[in-house]
């Protein structure tokens, strides 16, 4: 009997087919690609429907879970109050499930870093120190991995840079007892500059780097970055609002 076919190998294949949802075998690759395309087109609402369907079909699929975390985060960005907080925490839970499904991949950790940062911002940094530290640690972990794609590395640098920049808004003596004394402007600048280098022309990164430059007193460079944002292609949900924010910031440092 051929080694490629035997009763035992046939039985094993049948067992795998029985325990693996058909949607996981056939539909999920198309579903996650569809979600990526929708988000690139900044169509969050349709992406919610697609990812929720994929999540129901494959609740332990890491690629589905971390994308679901990203979608929840985007939903939270467009919400307010208790709804926003709930969506950010759902994003955090989904990212943790993605990590449980794939502990060696960078995406779950990146999404947990992003979600933890948003939870911290919504709760108030000083009241959510553990989440700030989680964001820093997860972003650092991603950067310590090998063969991480440049866009993912760029996002990790962005999260680190934004974490440092946000912490500098609070005097260090107030942060120090909470374990948040690490936040500083030089590290914010370094990480945000690296993010813009790894992913040039990405509005979210350019805006935050310009903000850090302005805070550092490098107003001419900040103005140049902010001015350029107006002509950049929109690639992420919220980019239209970020362009407006860039113009507002530009007016405040025009002199």
Short-list 169, 167, 222, CA closest to 196: 222
Give me the domains of the chain, ranges plus CATH numbers: 31-170 (1.25.40.10), 200-255 (no CATH)
Cβ neighbours of residue 101 closer than 8 Å, sequence gap 6 or more: 60, 61, 62, 65, 108
pLDDT of residue 255: 67
Altogether, the residues listed in the chain come to a count of 255
The predicted-structure confidence for 114-127, as pLDDT tens digits, reads as follows 999 999 999 888 89
pTM for the full model?
A: 0.88
Whether the predicted pLDDT of 61 surpasses 70: yes
The predicted-structure confidence for 205-233, as pLDDT tens digits, reads as follows 999 999 999 999 999 999 999 999 999 99
Task: Give the 3-state secondary structure of residue 194.
Answer: helix
Task: Kindly give the interhelix angle for 22-40 and 62-77, rounded to the nearest 10 degrees.
Answer: 40
């Amino acid at each position: 009997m051929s080694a490629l076919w035997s009763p035992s190998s046939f039985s094993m294949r049948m067992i795998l087919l029985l325990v693996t949802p058909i949607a996981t075998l056939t539909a999920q690759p198309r579903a996650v690609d569809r979600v990526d395309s929708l988000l690139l087109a900044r169509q969050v609402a349709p992406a919610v429907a697609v990812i929720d369907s994929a999540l129901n079909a494959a609740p332990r699929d890491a690629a589905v879970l971390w994308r679901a975390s990203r979608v929840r985060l985007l939903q939270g960005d467009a919400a307010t109050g208790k709804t926003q907080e709930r969506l950010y925490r759902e994003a955090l839970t989904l990212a943790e499930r993605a990590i449980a499904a794939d502990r060696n991949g960078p995406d779950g950790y990146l999404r947990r870093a992003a979600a933890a940062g948003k939870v911290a911002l919504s709760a108030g940094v000083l009241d959510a120190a553990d989440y700030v530290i989680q964001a820093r640690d997860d972003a650092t972990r991603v950067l310590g991995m090998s063969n991480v794609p440049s866009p993912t590395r760029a996002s990790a640098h962005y999260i680190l840079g934004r974490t440092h920049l946000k912490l500098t808004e609070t005097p260090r003596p107030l942060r120090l007892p909470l374990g948040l004394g690490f936040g500083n402007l030089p590290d914010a600048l370094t990480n945000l500059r690296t993010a813009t280098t790894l992913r040039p022309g990405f509005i979210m990164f350019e805006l935050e780097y310009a903000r850090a430059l302005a805070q550092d007193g490098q107003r001419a460079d900040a103005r140049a970055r902010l001015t350029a944002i107006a002509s950049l292609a929109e690639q992420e949900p919220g980019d239209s609002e970020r362009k407006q924010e860039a113009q507002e910031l530009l007016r405040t440092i025009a002199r």
